[in-house]
Structure 1
Amino acid sequence: MIKLIIVDDDVLIRESLKIIIGIDNEIEVVKALENGKECIDFLSENEVDVVLLDMRMPVMDGTEVLEEISKKNIKVKVLILTTFDEEKLISSAIKHKTSGYLLKSSKPEKIISGIKSVYLGNGVFESDIVSKLVVGSSNKNDKSDDEGLNIYGLTDREKDIVRLISKGLSNKEIANKLFLSEGTIKNHITSILSKMDLKHRTQIAIEYLNSKIH
Structure 2
Amino acid sequence: MTGSLRVVLADDDSLIRAAIGMILRSADGIDLVAQVADGRAAVETVVRERPDVALLDIQMPVMDGLAALREIRRAAPAVRVVVLTTFGQDEYVAQALDAGAAGFLLKESAAEELAYAIRAAADGNAYLSPKITRQLLDRLPATTVRPDRDLALVEGLSAREREVLVLLAQGLSNAEIAQRLFVSEGTVKTHVYRVFTKVGCENRVQAAMIAQRAGLLGG
Scaled by the length of structure 2, the TM-score of the pair is: 0.74
Contact 2:125–2:203 (CA under 8 A) maintained in structure 1: yes
- Equivalence for 1:49: 52
- Equivalence for 1:99: 102
Correspondence for 1:120 among 119, 123, 130: 123
- Equivalence for 1:155: 156
Question: In the TM superposition, what whole-angstrom CA distance separates every residue of 1:20-74 from its partner, at most 9, and x where no partner exists?
Answer: 2101241111111001000111122222111111111111111001111123244
Call closer, same or farther: CA 1:210–1:126 in 2, change over 3 Å: farther
Contact 2:98–2:206 (CA under 8 A) maintained in structure 1: no
| Identity level (%) | 26
- Stretches of structure 2 that go unaligned for 5 or more consecutive residues are none
Correspondence for 1:89 among 92, 98, 110: 92
Tell me, what secondary structure is at the counterpart of 1:79? strand
- Matched to 2:151, the amino acid is L
The structural deviation recorded for 1:19 is: 1.9
Tell me, what secondary structure is at the counterpart of 1:14? helix
Tell me, what secondary structure is at the counterpart of 1:193? helix
CA distance in 2 between partners of 1:27 and 1:173 (Å): 28
Question: In the TM superposition, what whole-angstrom CA distance separates every residue of 1:101-150 from its partner, at most 9, and x where no partner exists?
Answer: 1111211221122112211222110123321134336x9xxxx6343333
CA distance in 2 between partners of 1:161 and 1:58 (Å): 42
- Equivalence for 1:178: none
CA distance in 2 between partners of 1:122 and 1:174 (Å): 18
Moved more, 107-116 or 191-200: 191-200
Within 5 A, what are the aligned runs for 1:48-67? 48-67=51-70
- Equivalence for 1:80: 83
- 1:36 maps to 2:44: no
CA distance in 1 between partners of 2:22 and 2:179 (Å): 42
The structural deviation recorded for 1:17 is: 1.5
Larger Rg: 1
- Matched to 2:115, the amino acid is I
Contact 1:91–1:210 (CA under 8 A) maintained in structure 2: no
The structural deviation recorded for 1:78 is: 0.9
Scaled by the length of structure 1, the TM-score of the pair is: 0.76
- Stretches of structure 1 that go unaligned for 5 or more consecutive residues are 176-180
